[in-house]
Amino acid sequence: MSEVRLIEVPEDYAGQRLDNFLLARLKGVPKSMIYRVIRKGEVRVNKGRAKPDRKLESGDIVRVPPIRVTETVTVTPSQGLINTLDKAVIHDDKGLLIINKPSGLAVHGGSGINIGLIEALRQAYKAPFLELVHRLDRDTSGCVMVARKRSVLKHLQEALRHKGVIQKRYLAVVNGHWPKHMTVVDVPLKRCEYPNGERVVRVHDEGKASVTHFKVIQYFEGCTLIAAKPLTGRTHQIRVHALHAGHPLVGDDKYTPPELNKAMRGQGFKRLCLHAHNLDLTLADKTPVSVMADLPIEIAAPLKKMGLEAFDVRYF
């Protein structure tokens, strides 16, 4: 970019931080450079200096100085991925998309991942605004909310901060016989990093409060199909709470002993058996939204061979 730009903040972006506003518009510019030009006062809001955490208002004029943008290679999603995501849409209105994300697809690119769900959707929809409301682990499948308006993003993220306002329910297959009386796991979780750089989550007294409700759906030989409803949204929460309960998830390469995963692969389970099954929420205009993402075939097929029975999808 070789010239000064003056950008008027659209109404839908009111409340966004200045640094995030710039990061979204200066693709290819290192974060360090963006923070440097803000710190030096080269970025102005309504002709005045501003800090990175300045909350913008509708109609604000942001002065963006000339910045050399690094050449970047745009990774285009394959037609196969576009077709998969097109079939995976389970809710679509002017403000909100809900996608049944397949296992193995990260929600966003980075750290060696060329393209994720959000990048693929942005290129497929060519929409002016598409942002993830929340995240799912790469190997977890199921419901992911994507906002099509800034106002919807703000409303839903605020709702997620309050327990029980948005009902998120998961299905999981765990090793062993989960006790029916074990309906709540309430232990704090903390992110840890090993010397080799691997990041994990552990139960730790200094961690953040974390609560998950569990319910047995059906018992099978060597495993149990359970429902899980997290009341908090910590990284790997269901996976680590299940491990803490003594019944780690089938197919979890990070937290489940390899010998257990090997045994369950023999039963046909080839992936992490965790699926974001359904969502209940209310939009800002009081419109209720209730969606369900069917249990994927990679999990359903082995369970059917083991005698899976029909179950009530509203198990909480």
Q: Which residues are marked as active site? A: 137
Pair 113, 137: CB distance under 8 Å: no
Strands (E), 130-210: 131-132, 141-147, 167-175, 184-186, 189-193, 199-203
Rounded to whole angstroms, how far apart are CA atoms 216 and 179?
Answer: 8
Which residue blocks in 200-293 are alpha helix, DSSP H? 237-244, 258-265
- CA-closest candidate to residue 243, choices 162, 140, 174: 174
Which residue blocks in 93-196 are alpha helix, DSSP H? 117-125, 150-160
Which residues partner with 64 through β-bridges? 5
Based on DSSP, count helices (H) and strands (E) in the chain, helices before strands: 8, 16
Rounded to whole angstroms, how far apart are CA atoms 196 and 45?
Answer: 43
User: How buried is residue 201: exposed, middle or buried, by Cβ count under 10 Å (0-12/13-18/19+)?
Assistant: buried
Pair 251, 273: CB distance under 8 Å: yes
Rounded to whole angstroms, how far apart are CA atoms 112 and 11?
Answer: 35
The gap from C-alpha 118 to its chain's centroid, in whole angstroms, comes to: 10
User: How buried is residue 214: exposed, middle or buried, by Cβ count under 10 Å (0-12/13-18/19+)?
Assistant: buried
